[in-house]
Structure 1
């Protein structure tokens, strides 16, 4: 099945200065599983500038969220907390937003994307910018 372009546009979260500009959004059927792939630009009053983010949502697997930043170099990838280093390369990092082990369920595919993954991604970017400035991760987590 070919990819199907769904939409292009801006989503504004109510009562906030958060926005999500959808550049591309595809439905893809791969290995008998439906995927939704969104390439977006995000901005917020929490952080400076705009970041490109790729959200890959699956029917049965955990979502994959990748943040793009040209300032991320090879040496910095090894130092950035809350990423999947195995899947991160200079310029793009797959970020870790929630813990899904020991019976603790912070995210499930039945949860609302705009109330979970989207704001969590904005928070991750905010803490990432602080990390770039201070060398310390203030975002908590494991």
Structure 2
């Protein structure tokens, strides 16, 4: 008996799961690209952050903080920690080469919690100037 290979989760299934977890969120699926926007609040004391996830089939999801913009920088810092682009607020939430995410995983169960964790560590960094979120530079 052969092994069952994991299959890529269709974009609309990804979108529907995101919508079920975040009923007030918005999404579109066009030309093999899922764009999702929703609010995350890493703690009860945190502000709400408007997040955009852009996921194109056969590529990695890209995560952006849309609001607030710009994000506050820690004192003495000129750029955000663990981002691909400070101006675009394009977050680095996992190390792609480690293959921590692939198209057989739900964005709602991986990318979104990782984004919330990034925001949590961002808030500490913005106050202390020390990044406690780990990661590879």
Residue 109 of structure 1 pairs with residue 103 of structure 2: yes
Corresponding residue number in structure 1 for 2:83: 83
Matched position secondary structure for 1:52: strand
Cα distance 1:134–1:57, how it changes in 2: closer, same or farther (>3 A)? same
- Which segments of 5 or more consecutive residues in structure 2 lack a partner in the other structure? 1-14
Which structure is higher in helix share?
2
Trace 1:18-57 onto structure 2 (pairs within 5 A). Answer: 21-22=24-25, 24-29=26-31, 34-45=32-43, 48-57=46-55
| 1:71 positional shift | 4.3
For 1:18-68, what per-residue CA distance to the aligned partner results, in whole angstroms no more than 9, with x for missing partners?
A: x6740x210111xxxx01101111124365110000011111111110013
What TM-score results when the alignment is normalised by the length of structure 2? Answer: 0.73
Greater RCO (CA < 8 Å, at least 6 residues apart): 2
Corresponding residue number in structure 1 for 2:57: 59
What TM-score results when the alignment is normalised by the length of structure 1? Answer: 0.71
- Which segments of 5 or more consecutive residues in structure 1 lack a partner in the other structure? 1-5, 13-18
Contact 1:43-1:51 within 8 A present in 2 as well: yes
For 1:68-87, what per-residue CA distance to the aligned partner results, in whole angstroms no more than 9, with x for missing partners?
A: 323436998843111002xx
Contact 1:47-1:126 within 8 A present in 2 as well: no
Residue 72 of structure 1 pairs with residue 71 of structure 2: yes
Cα distance 1:136–1:20, how it changes in 2: closer, same or farther (>3 A)? farther
RMSD after superposition:
2.8
